[in-house]
Amino acid sequence: MLERIHFNLPKYYLSQSLDTESLKKVLGSSDSVFKNLLIIKNGYKALYDFAYLEDDNYELYAYVKVDYAVIGKAKSQSWAITHFKPLLSIKPKYTLICSLKELKSNKVIYKHKETSIKAEVIYKHIEDCFTDLQILLNSF
C-alpha cells in the first residue's frame, strides 16, 4: 500500500557552527563529515522521504535531497579550516528523486528527478509523483 509522508522542507542554509569540542573532533575528518554534523546541529536532515510503499513486488525510492549552503558562523568556521573550504562553493537546492522498480524483472517502471531552488516547485512535483505512482500501482 502506498502511503504519503507529509513534511515541510527546511530552508537550505546552515548558519549555526559547531561548538569547539565537536570541531576539535572533526578536524581530521573530511568536509562531508563536518557538513553532516552542521546539518544535525541546525536541526535538519539530508533526505526527506515523501512516500512509502509496503509491497513485496516493488521497491520505491521517494525523497527530496537538500543541498545546504553555509552562512553566518558556519561559513566562518568553514572558511577558517582549509579542507572544509569546498563547502563554501555549494549552491543550495532541492533535488526530488522518485523511482519505482519491479523486483521480479528488476526493471524501473517509473522514474522522476527534479531540481529546483524553490520549495513550491518541489511540492508540486511531489504531488505529481504521488499521483503518478497511485495510477501506476492501481493499474497492476
Domain positions in the chain are 7-138
Question: CB burial class (10 A; 0-12, 13-18, 19+) of residue 100?
Answer: buried
- Tens-digit pLDDT profile for residues 79-125: 999 999 999 999 999 999 999 999 999 999 999 999 999 999 999 99
Q: Which single residue is written with the C-alpha cell 512516500?
A: 51
Listing from the earlier edge strand, what are the strands of the sheet with 93-102? Answer: 47-49, 58-67, 93-102, 107-116
| pLDDT confidence tier of residue 76, bands split at 50, 70 and 90 | very high
Q: Are 128 and 4 in contact (CB under 8 A)?
A: no
The pLDDT score that the predictor gives to residue 115 is 98
Pairing of the two strands 51-53 and 2-4: antiparallel
Q: Are 115 and 97 in contact (CB under 8 A)?
A: no
Average pLDDT, the chain: 95
47-55 average pLDDT score:
96
Report, in this order, helix, strand and coil percent for the chain, each rounded to 5.
40, 30, 30
The pLDDT score that the predictor gives to residue 1 is 87
pTM of the model: 0.89
At 36, list the grid cell. Answer: 553532516
